[in-house]
Amino acid sequence: MNKYERNGKLLTCILSGKIDTLNTSVLENEINENMIEDITSVVIDMQEVDYISSSFLRIVIKIVKAVSKENFVIKNVNPSVMKVFKIANLTEIINIG
């Protein structure tokens, strides 16, 4: 179950489980609903995520384009997911902690 917390201009998305192709579209809708106009910074917490799809990676690229690299952080990434970001060549355009 994903959670979304809005704190002023900051949106924190706490994701969990397996983000595969099937549930990525649901996730995309959820994020879009929470990305209301005054949101300028986004944090994605991936503590509970152990698999990500290529379509999720595309969402991530969209978010970074929308809020810029400086205002976007992905945190609590486990090694399996970190490796996926590396293979996707995204660690240079996204702050991953």
Site of interaction with another protein (CB under 8 A): 20-21, 51-55, 57-58, 80, 83-85, 87-89
Shortest approach of another protein to residue 57 CB, angstroms? 5
- Closer to another protein by CB, 3 or 58: give it: 58
Shortest approach of another protein to residue 8 CB, angstroms? 32
Shortest approach of another protein to residue 20 CB, angstroms? 8
H helical segments located in the chain: 21-34, 54-67, 79-87
| H or E stretch covering 7 | strand 3-7
Phi, then psi, of 35 in degrees rounded to 5: -85, 60
